Amino acid sequence: MKKLFTIALFFFCKIVVGQKFGLGPDAQFSQFFANPLYHNPAFTGEAGATRLMATFRSQWAGLGDGGYKSYIAGIDGYASRGLGLGFLAFRDEQFKNFSTTSLSGLASYNIVINDNNVVVFGLQGSWVFNQINDLSNLKFVDRFSTTSNSVVINPSIDPLANKGGLSWNYLNFSGGFLWKNSPYMDNDRLVWAGGTWHNLKFSEKDFQPKGRIGLQAGFKIPHHLDFIGHGRVKDMERERNIAFTTYFRKQGRFSQLDMGVNFQYSPINLGVWYRNMPFKRADFPGQDAITFITGVKFGKFMFEYSYDLTVSSLNRTTAGANEITLWYGLDFDLDLSLNGLDRRRKLKCTNF
């Protein structure tokens, strides 16, 4: 199974190079609110505080050769006058053979429509470096031929087969928008919706992934459950809300729909999400995984862990996916105007 997946991966890369198609689907993270900048650049600076973020994801380690491993780290903050700024470093490793590394700068601009509505536009520019580590031991599809009762491996004439590795890089851009509405101009009741277009292409000659379109929406309402409260001020000020979120993305022939609910009763955060493949073919199962999220937040620090339970036909071989996120808030503020919080920062989908 391990060799099958490795060979299939490089067959796909071979077809991509030959026909100048885009690469396969981009990496993903199950903790949507823990990685807002990766999903939509319009979230840049949206938390109203300068924050450091780091996430590690290990997916399908049961297939051997390390499976998929993804790393992401970033910083963002609000820089006054409606401007948010951020930086992301990202690396994705696929079975120790194919890797992608990128460095991104992000910016967002907030437009206040009225006291209850804010629209945000975001832009991301990235330098992306891709590498295939070793091509010398691969058997490409053009080496195989069939006879009446056997498969014959012919001598390779493909120049890639004699290379130790292959690498390429390119400049990439992504854009997004976000609309937020609250009847009371606060974070207790909030409705929001957004959209993204990743991997904007300006030339078909560039060897880069296909465009990825994403649609996100959600709403947050307060709950009045009290498990450990004693009527004291610190208990009354606990963050208590339930957030319902959905995220649809499409890239080439691949589409995916995530739906989830997060329950927050500070310092505890719990979540359950379901991932499936909409618009599936009759011969292709649509269910993918159920994600369980748990986290704690104390002051400037947040820790979150999630596990993806595979519910498709691969559930006995993949070992699911583990994801760990750390956040840390900084006393340093990018808001150089020193005017404190303004109304652009009060509607927040992602509180620190």
pLDDT at 218: 94
Q: How far apart are CA 36 and CA 351, in angstroms?
A: 11
- Please state the rounded mean pLDDT for residues 164-191: 85
Q: Under 8 Å CB-to-CB from 14, ≥6 apart: which residues? A: 140, 141, 158, 160
Task: Please provide residue 18's backbone torsions phi and psi, each rounded to the nearest 5 degrees.
Answer: -65, -35
pLDDT at 352: 46
- Please state the rounded mean pLDDT for residues 125-152: 72
Element containing residue 261 per DSSP (H, E): strand 254-265
Q: What pLDDT digit, counting tens, does each position of 231-274 carry? A: 554 555 678 899 999 999 998 888 899 999 999 988 899 999 99
Give the single-character DSSP code of 281. Answer: -
Model confidence at 178, in pLDDT bands (50, 70, 90)? very high
Model confidence at 160, in pLDDT bands (50, 70, 90)? low
Closest CA to 239 of 260, 223, 227: 223
| Contacts of the segment 137-146: beta carbons below 8 A, 24+ positions apart | 138/7, 138/10, 139/7, 140/10, 140/11, 140/14, 141/11, 141/14, 141/15
The position carrying tokens 């590795």 is 165
- Please state the rounded mean pLDDT for residues 172-189: 86
